Structures are given as structure tokens and as C-alpha cells.
Amino acid sequence: MNSPAESTAQPHNESTDARISVRNLWKIFGKNAGSVIGTDLADLDSETVRKRTGATVAVRDMSFDVHPGETFVVMGLSGSGKSTLVRCMTRLIEPTSGTMSLDGEDIAACSPQRLRELRRSRMAMVFQHFGLLPHRRIVDNVAYGLEVRGVSRAQRYERAREMIEMVGLAGHEDSLPGQLSGGMQQRVGLARALAVDPEVLLFDEPFSALDPLIRRDMQDEVLRLQRELHKTAVFITHDLSEALKVGDRIAIMRDGELVQTGTPEDLVGSPADDYVRDFVKDVSRTAVLTARSLARPALPGEAEDGPAVPAATVVDDIVAPLADGTAPVRVTGAGDTVLGYVGRDDVLRLIAGDRTADAAKAAGGQSEPRRPGDAPGDPVGA
Amino acid sequence: MATAQPAPSAPPETAGPSPSGHVPGADGAARRPPGTAWLANRWVQAAAAIAVLAAGYAAARALGTPAWLGTFPDATGQWLIARLDGVYTWIVANRNSSPLFLYGFNYVSVGLGSAVILVNQALVLLTWPGVVFAGTLAAWRVAGWRVALLVLATFAVFALTGLWNEAMTTLALITTSVLIALIIGIPLGILAGRSDGFHRAVRPVLDFLQIMPAFAYLMPMLLLFGIGNPAAAVATFVYAVPPAVRITALAIRNVDAGAVEATTSLGSTPWQILTKVQLPMAKRTILLGVNQTIMLAVSMVVIASVIGAGGLGDAIYQALSKVNVGQAVEAGAAIVLMAIALDRVTGAAGDGTRTPLLPAPWRRAAPAVGLAAATAVAATARLVGIEGWPPAWSISFSGPINTAQQGVQSAIGDATGAFGDLLLVGVLNPLSALLTGTPWWLVVLVAAALGAIFGGWRTAATAGAAVLATGLLGVWENSMDTLSQVLVAAAVTLAVGVAVGILAARSDMLAAILRPVLDAMQTLPPFVYLIPAVALFSVGRVPALAASVVFALPPVIRLVNDGIRGVSAHAVEAAVSQGSTGGQLLTKVQLPLARSSLLLAVNQGIMMVLSMVVMGALVGAGSLGYDVVFGLKQNQLGLGLTSGLAIVCLGVFLDRVTQGRRSNA
């Protein structure tokens, strides 16, 4: 329904190196679910479909790939279908149609037994409200996945203790979940998911129920674990700063549809439409854009011996080296090759841009075309 | 943990028997012309319906009661009763030859009889020191030393009153029927908890069982299983099984969905989800269901003495029929203590907080050690030749109690007698005359009209049909008489109950005083309420009414109190901040907001009154209850069964009319 979205909705049509590959996934709730897909109704917006058939379109024709070791964030407001999407991926909710493959094997088509095998060893999920078993000790909660798989008590306790140690809860093995704080409980949830050593981790708004400070700790924890373990992760959140912090790539969902998929830099640097632009307008671009995006050839007469920074450095972090001297920084890629230069003027111009945008926002408050929370379905492209 | 025991008192979220018709009947108020708005008031409409009834009565009397204005033609009833008597004759003739009995009911009957005897034998084998030791030890392990002392005291009362053997028989009956109820009820509850379809199928059955007064069960049981313990065990099982199913289903359904989802996502099989997640997390609630099942079994096992259940119930029944208050009080005290002890022990097992902490190595071994110790005690006792409690060691209190009762009677007997007469002449008789003397079709129409006013058209149809059915069953006059007793007792119950409930809601001290009293009252088997009523009012309709009122008061008081206290503190705060007086606060904020609790109180109060009024037949209240007892005693299946069914019809009528709108509230 909006043209910029469609161009990004299916970024990789065929991808052989994808760990997870979702194609044309639909989830429609309600009695007439079957009567929507493949008919004219499929082209209508969700509100109209609901009025005509009583069926609710939660996920609409989604396709995307997640690569090994990547943290893929799906972000959207509540009701955008993101939690339904992640549940469809492990079939906690049965998708209405479409395929999700894990290393080429279609999860949507596998038998209940095979699905259990996949859940027991290949993919594990972390939940917003933890879903711990209050009657079991922490060690038994963490060992649960191994227990249902049939691992012996000694082995699974050993593994569980390792995991508890890894998430920083050593000493709490024999506590009950109710004795731990929310943040600690979610660490247990994380340990439980990691205990089965899955290739894929699914996070469903794991930190939304936590206090802001604890949330930041937990985000750092996930980043640390990802650096050590390199799991493939699908991470659902409604918090943009969380998405930008943990995501290698981010997919923005709206009304069950993908609006844009890209790196944080893509989203902030070139939002696909007004919806995404509105989302990211409060993000300081200097905190997201990298040296690579500002790099340019050296200007005539410019000093070429400034400090070197890796291409992935965010702009905020090259302010200090720039302040130390007058020479522009050298942006280096793999093997210390110089990709280009970034000078004080470039950074100032970017900061000025942020400020102007803020000022324009403050001035034009009411005339803004739309906000992310607007009524769904009003056509943007029209 | 003293949760209510009688049929219509499951936890609030499950108590509403079937969401019946909720067609808006008088909701068109807004569309009426302004001047006639008062016509839309349901109470005005109800009063008009009653006025029509009275006018019909007056007209019938004035016209000398011609046939078309008279009582229900009894042709259908006669026919039905004759048919049922025929069935009875057939069953008696074929009980030992029909395959249905030879291979069906007789087996169940023999099996159940043997089970009761087996449990009883086990208790005898344990000897009294063994039983006392094992019971007290188990109570201590589950519920701590206070409850253990209570259990010990209970055993002491069994023994000292010379009712040890009766108590053991009752205990054996309760054990057998509760075990069956749990073995069948819990799996059904699990099924209903996991399958929406099964839940929908089983709910109306449970609703029906819960509004069915216990007395109505007895006749069919007698018919199928003969007189004695097997029939009593089945009746008790049927009576006690609904909470086991309902609360288990509720418990499974209330298990945190997040935990089920999380464990599913880790690849649990459905069986693993059940055994590792749902059952452990639902355990406490299920134990609450077990507690309710046991309490219902205790009350029914006493009532079942009417169909030949031995034990304490029989002792009360015999004492009551001889108006021997002393003996009745002895046996009543024994059953009351048994009920309270069972309630406290199983209640503590449910909440698990009072369980004494044992050092870790002892925890697992405790049951085995306890069993071994109890066996050792029993073996020692047998070696020295102890078995049952020696009768010579008993002390009879019945003589002194009878003396005391006669003293009370002579002191205030005139007063209670006068009060009773006043009630009879002034209220009961006129109301009974009104209901029986009004043309039957007018009564049916008014019943339907009340259904329409308070529930809607579906309720109207049910209410009219239920009242009509009492006539078709051939017991119109007795049904109307029973109805008049129910209405009077319900009016008193609700007036007193609502008033006390409001007072309790406004005074923390009164609430604190009332709570343990209500707890204890709700633990008592309904049967024992008759004992003090007989002591005060002798026999007849008045003691039955008194017992009904006292029996139905606790849940009414409790629901009103809880309802008012449950009103949002914000709403109360806002009303107070705007300068409401206490009275304004009550009438404009608390009572309207507590409406659904008040309606539930009315419904439960009336249903409990009904179940007690029919039991009042045992103390001479006559009417439907008497026909049931008479039918049971005289082998008149037709009369007993039709009267039982009429009780059910009255129950359906009263239930539907009083709860019709609750689903809208």
C-alpha cells in the first residue's frame, strides 16, 4: 500500500546463506481466516478486512532473511503484529500460510515430533513475562529444556550451573523464581534459553517489563553474550533505542506489514517513508551514523595524517579525536585501508542538521503530516 | 479455609449456575414516554404481578372456586405416579434376574459396599490407638500442632460419647465416596481444563448438579442400589463430584499461560506440560477442590442416613425422629468436629503454609516413618487386646443435655411457641393458602412474568415451565406449600443477612468477630442445623424455617460484606470527597457497585433455603420433603420420585428468576 515500503519489504528474495528465511508469512485470526489470502481482500487494509469478514490480519505477507550470527530486530508499536510474528516462527501460533525455514528446513511443514525436536535443540525463546515455573528452583528452570529432551540429571545440572554462572546468577541455583527480582528472573529466562545451546534465539520484548536501569544492564548483557556466542537472534521490541542498540539489522513493522528493513544507519540515514521518518526523528544521528557514511575523499590541501578510526565508529565517537587536532580523521576499513576522511565541518554539518530538524519540529508541531500512532490504514502514497 | 459446603456455594467465579437467558426485558426504559418511566422499574412490575396473583385468589374464592379456577388437575400426576410405582414393582421383581442389575448396578452396589466395609475394616484393624495416632500424626504433618490438637479432641469426642464405631463408619463412607469422586472428578477436571469443547459440554451438567437439592438425589439411588451404604456412597459421590471437576478445570485454566507457552517453546510434549507445568502449578487450587469435595461429602453422608447410610448421620436421624435432643446433640457434635477437623487438615494441605518444616533428610521419609509408627502402635494395641473403644469408658451427655433443653424449653418454650404460632398463623398459612388457592394457571403465568421481569424471555419460559412441571408431576399443592415456606424463610434470611452484611462491611470489629463464626457455620453439615431448631421450636414447619434461615445466613452475610468491601476504594474516596454522608455513600455508591455480589447473595440464600426447607421434613415440615422421606420409607417410588423432581423444578424456578440478570451485571 505504500510504495517505498514494498521496495524494501523483500530485500533478499533468494538467499542461500540465510539461517532463517521467512517467505510470504500470513497470520489471520478469526473464523474467516482462509477467505482472505489469495483473494482481492488480501490487498485491502486490515481495518476493511476486519469489517468485511470479521478476520483480523495480524501478519501480512512478510518475507525476510536472518543471517547466521546476526541480531535481527523486529520493531513496531503494540498491535503491529510483531509478537505474533515471532510466535509463528516457532509455531506457538500456527501461521495461516507461508513458510519459515531454518537452515533450509521448513518449520511450517514439519510434523509435531520434528517441531518438538527443533524446539528442544535448535531454537529457544525468551519471553516478556519470563514464563518461569514458580514451583521449581532456578537450576531446575534452567535445566527444563534438557530435562524434556531426556538428558540425565547430572549432565543437565552441570550445564544449567554453567549457564547460571554465565548470566551472572551464580549462588542463586537453589532459589525459587519468586525470590528473585524481575531482572534476575529474566536472566534465568535467558539462561534457560541458552542451556539447550540453540542456533537461534527468539526474544519477545524480553526487557519491556523491566525498570529502565535494569533494562540497560540486560541489553548490555545480551550484547556481551552475542559477542561471545554468536547466536542468530530475532529480537522483538517496541523501543527504538533498544532496537538501535542491539540490532545488526532492524525491520520496522506496521499493521502486520514490513515497512523497512535495514541497518540502524539505513533507517536513520534514509528512512523509507514518513512513518519510519517519524519514528527515527528523535534519534540523534550522530549516535547512529558511522564514520563510513560521512567519509569523503581528502580535500585539496587537507592534512592526511589525522588519527585513524575504524569505519564502523559512530560519529559521536570521532568528535574527541577531531577536537584534539585540526586534521580530519582517517576512516579505515579492513586491513587499514583508508576509505576516506571526515573533518570537523562534516561533523558540525550533521549536528546542525539534527538541530534544524528539531527546530522545524518545534515550529511546525501541528502541521506534521502523521505520527506513528495514527489510525492505521490511511494511505500514505496517495 | 472453611469454605462453604452446600451445593450452591462454589467459589464466586464458578458459582453462577449456567449463564442463562439474558435477553433484555425492561431495558427499553429510555425509550418510554417520560411520565411512565416508573412502569419500567422491575420492582413495580413484580409488585403488579403479585397483585394479579392476589386478585386471582380473591376472585377464585369469591366465585366459590369453580374447577377452572381451582387447583391443578391431578390426572397427569396420578398417571405418572402409577407408572413409576410400576417401575418400582418391576425393579423389585427383577433385581436379581435382569441383566441390567445382575451385571450392572448390583456389581457397583456390591463393589461399593465392599469398599466401604474394607475401609471400615482397615480402621477397625488399626484399633483405636492406631487410628488416633495415625490421624493426629498426619494432621500435625500437614497442618501443624494446633490442628493436630483439634483432631485429637475430635477423636476424644468420638470415643467419650460412645460413638466411636459410628464415627468410623461415617469416616469409611466419606473416604470411599471422596476417593471415587476424586478418581473420577480430577481427570474430568483436567480434561475440561485442557479442552474447551469438553468444558462447554460438562458445564451445564455441573450447573444442574449444583442447583439440585441433596434430597432430590436420594430416591433414584435407593432404586438402583438398594437401601444401605452403597446407595449412600453413590449419592455422596454424585453430590461431591462437581467441585472436584469444576475447581480442577479452573485450576488448570488459571495456570500462567506464559509458563505453558515458554515450556512449549522448549519442546515439551502435552504430557510433559501436564505433569511438569500444569499440575504442579495448579496443585494448591486442586487441593482446595479436594477440600470442597470432602466438605460436600460430609454433609451428604449425613443426609444419606435417610437411605440407610450408617454412622453418625443415622444416629442424628434416629435421635431426631424420637425428638431426643440430647442424643442428637452428641452425634451432631461428633459430626461437626469431624467436619471442622477434615476442613482444617485439607485446607492446610491446600495453602501449604502451616506445614511444619522438617530437616531435609526427614522430609522424604516422613510418610513412611509415620506409617511404620502407626502400624507399630496398632500392632501393640492388638497384642494387648485393644480394638474398638470400650463402651464402658464412654460418658453419656445426652441425659444432662435433655434436662438442660427441657429447662430452656420451660423457660422460653412459651415464648418460642407463641412466636412460632404467630409465624404460622400470620404469615405461613396465609401465604400457603394464597399459593394453593389461586388458580394454578395464574400461578404459572405469574411465575413466567417474574421470569420475564427479572431475566428475560428465556428465563420466563424456563420459570413458567418449571412451575407448570410441579403440577404435571401431581404434587402441585405440596410444591406450593414448600414454595411458601421457602419464600418466608428467604425473606427473613435476606432481610437479616443483608442488614448484618452491611453492618459488617462498615465495622471492622464486627467483621472480625463474625468471620470465624461464619467460617465454622459454613463448615457444618446442613443436617445438624435441625438439632438446635428442634430444641427451640419442637417439631413442625417453624423449626424447619429457623434452620433454613440460620443455614442460609452465612453465605448471604459474607457475600454482602465482601461485595461492599470490594467496591473500588477510588469510587468511595471520590464520593466522600464530594461530601456524601454515610447513608448516601451506602445507597448511591456501595450498594449499586456491589450489585452483582448482592444478586449472588439473593440467589445463594434462596437456593440454600430451599435445600434446607425440604430437609425440614425430617422435623415435621411436611410438603415435598415429607413425600420424599415417606416415599423412601414406604417404598413408594412414584410419590418419592415425583416429589424429588418437583423439588428440582422449584430449584430451577428460583435459581433462574434470581440470577437471570447476573450475566448482564
- pLDDT tens digit sequence for B42-72: 778 888 888 887 887 777 777 766 666 666 6
% of chain B at pLDDT higher than 70: 86
The more confidently predicted of residues A190 and B212 is A190
CATH assignment at residue A82: 3.40.50.300
Rounded to 5°, angle at Cα A219 from A217 and A220:
65
Which residues of chain A make contact with B262, given a CB cutoff of 8 A?
125, 127, 130-132, 189, 192
For the stretch B576-621, pLDDT in tens is 888 788 788 888 888 888 888 888 888 888 888 888 887 887 777 7
Indicate which of A111, A119, A159, A197 best probes the interface with B, i.e. most B CBs within 10 Å of its own CB.
A119
Question: Is residue B145 predicted with pLDDT exceeding 90?
Answer: no
pLDDT in tens, B518-570: 888 877 788 788 887 877 777 777 888 888 888 888 888 988 888 888 888 88
Range of the domain at A56: 5-122+198-280
What average pLDDT does range A171-182 have in this prediction?
91
pLDDT digits (tens, 9 = 90+) for B626-664: 787 777 777 777 777 788 888 888 888 888 888 765 444
**Is A308 a residue whose pLDDT tops 70?**
yes
To the nearest 10 degrees (0 to 180), the angle between helices B476-506 and B541-565 is 40
- So what's the pLDDT on residue B15? 37
B275 in any annotated domain:
yes
Helices and strands (H and E) in chain B: how many = 30, 0
Cα of A373 to nearest chain B Cα, Å: 28
Distance of alpha carbon A61 from alpha carbon A65, whole angstroms:
14
- The CB-based long-range contact list for B202-209 (8 Å cut-off, 24+ gap) reads B202/B245, B202/B249, B203/B18, B204/B18, B206/B242, B206/B245, B206/B246, B207/B17, B207/B18, B208/B17, B208/B18, B209/B7, B209/B238, B209/B239, B209/B241, B209/B242
Please indicate, yes or no, whether residues A223 and A352 belong to a single structural domain of this protein.
Answer: no
The DSSP call for residue A211 is -
Which of B255, B261, B265 is the best mutation test for A, with the most CBs of A within 10 A? B265
Residue A9's pLDDT band, with cuts at 50, 70 and 90, is very low
- Residue spans of alpha helices (H) in B384-529: 398-423, 429-437, 440-454, 457-472, 476-506, 508-523
Q: Are residue A67 and residue A204 in the same domain, yes or no? A: yes
Q: Determine whether the interchain pair A119/B264 forms a contact, defined as Cβ–Cβ distance below 8 Å.
A: yes
Q: Is residue A311 located within the same domain as residue A328?
A: yes
The CATH number assigned to the domain holding A323 equals: 3.90.1280.20
The verdict on ipTM greater than 0.85 is no
| Least confidently predicted of B12-26, B298-312, B521-535 | B12-26
Note whether residue A191 is domain-resident: no
| Tens-digit pLDDT profile for residues B274-289 | 999 999 998 888 888 8
Given this model, what pLDDT does residue B64 score? 67
Mean pLDDT score of chain A, rounded to an integer? 83
Q: What CA–CA distance (Å, rounded) separates A126 from B446?
A: 61
Task: Say whether pLDDT at A319 is over 80.
Answer: yes
Q: Provide the domain limits for residue B382.
A: 112-390
Tell me whether residues B266 and A144 touch, CB distance under 8 A.
yes
Between residues B28 and A275, the one the model is more confident about: A275
A240/A293 same-domain check:
no
- Tell me how far apart the alpha carbons of residues B445 and B239 are, in angstroms, rounded to a whole number: 33
Given CB atoms, is A118 within the 8 Å cutoff of chain B? yes
Task: Please check whether residues A254 and A117 belong to one and the same domain.
Answer: yes
Residues A233 and A332 in one domain: no
What DSSP assignment string belongs to B203-230? HHHHHHHHHS-GGGGHHHHHHHH-SSHH
Instruction: Kindly state whether residues A344 and A203 are assigned to the same domain.
Output: no
Residue B320 lies in a domain: yes
Residues of A in contact with B263 (CB under 8 A): 131, 133, 144, 148
Q: Which of A90, A135, A145 sits opposite B281 (nearest CB)?
A: A135
Say if A26 falls within a structural domain.
Answer: yes
Residue B167 pLDDT greater than 90, yes or no = no
Distance separating the N- and C-terminal Cα atoms of chain A = 9
CA-CA distance, B585 to B176, in Å (whole number)?
51
Average the pLDDT over each of A114-128, B137-151, B525-539 and give the range with the smallest value: B525-539
Q: Into how many domains does chain B fold?
A: 1
**Which residue from A206, A34, A196, A184 is spatially nearest to A117, judged by alpha carbons?**
A196
Q: Is the pLDDT of residue A35 over 50?
A: yes
- Alpha carbons B247 and B411: distance in angstroms, whole number: 48
A337 inside domain: yes
Q: Residues of B with CB below 8 A from A124's CB?
A: 265-266
- State yes or no: pLDDT of B173 exceeds 80: yes
Report the alpha-carbon distance of residue A369 to residue B542 in Å, rounded. Answer: 79
Q: What is the DSSP string of B295-347?
A: HHHHHHHHHGGGGT--SHHHHHHHHHHTT-HHHHHHHHHHHHHHHHHHHHHHH
- Lowest mean per-residue pLDDT among B34-48, B426-440, B565-579: B34-48
pLDDT at position B633, please? Answer: 74
Cα–Cα dist B369/A337, whole Å: 79
Q: Which one has a higher pLDDT value, A363 or B219?
A: B219
Instruction: Calculate the average pLDDT of chain B.
Output: 78
Is A232 within the bounds of a domain?
yes
- A340 pLDDT higher than 90: no
Same domain, A212 and A354: no
- Both A262 and A294 in one domain: the answer is no
In a domain, A147, yes or no: no
Residues A206 and A329 in one domain: no
Mean predicted confidence (pLDDT) in B121-128: 76
Split at pLDDT 50, 70, 90, the class of A369 is very low
A92 lies in a domain? yes
Q: Residue type for B565, please?
A: R
Q: Report the residue from A127, A196, A202 with minimal CB separation from B258.
A: A127
Residue B342: is its pLDDT beyond 80?
Answer: yes
Question: What's the confidence (pLDDT) of residue B324?
Answer: 76
B353 touches chain A (CB under 8 A): no
Closest alpha carbon within chain B to A120: B267
**Whether residue A348 sits in one domain with residue A203:** no
Q: How confident is the model at residue B27 (pLDDT cuts 50, 70, 90)?
A: very low
Q: What is the mean pLDDT of residues A258-271?
A: 87
Q: Point out the residue among A92, A129, A132 whose CB comes nearest to the CB of B264.
A: A92
Give CA–CA dist B509/B415, Å, rounded: 32
- Residue A240 contacts B, CB cutoff 8 Å: no
- Among the candidates A253, A280, A307, a domain finishes at A280
Q: What is the mean pLDDT of residues A55-81?
A: 89
Q: Which of A58-62, A349-353, B543-547, B610-614 has the highest mean pLDDT?
A: A58-62
Instruction: Give the residue on A whose Cα is nearest the Cα of B264.
Output: A92
Average of per-residue pLDDT across B2-31: 39
Residues A207 and A355 in one domain: no
Top-confidence residue, A19 or B161 = A19
| CATH code at position B263 | 1.10.3720.10
pLDDT-derived band at A253, boundaries 50, 70, 90:
very high
A16 pLDDT above the threshold of 80: no
Looking at the domain assignment, is residue B381 inside a domain? yes
Please report the pLDDT score of residue A180 as a whole number: 92
Q: Note whether residue A372 is domain-resident.
A: no
pLDDT at A199 over 80: yes
How much is the average pLDDT of B398-414? 72
Decide if pLDDT at A73 tops 90: yes
pLDDT of B388 > 70? The answer is no
State the pLDDT at residue B360.
Answer: 66
User: With an 8 Å Cβ cutoff, are B272 and A148 in contact?
Assistant: yes
Per mean pLDDT, which range of B173-177, B389-393, B532-536, B602-606 is the poorest? B389-393
Between A82-91, B317-326, B603-612, the lowest mean confidence (pLDDT) is in B317-326
Whether A268 contacts chain B with CB within 8 A: no
Residue B665 pLDDT class (50, 70, 90 cuts): very low
| Residue B595: all three cell numbers together | 450489585
A178 vs B contacts (CB less than 8 Å): none
Residue A237 lies in a domain: yes
Nearest to A116 among B261, B267, B283 (CB): B267
| Cβ contact A135–B263 (<8 Å) | no
Indicate the number of domains in chain A. Answer: 2
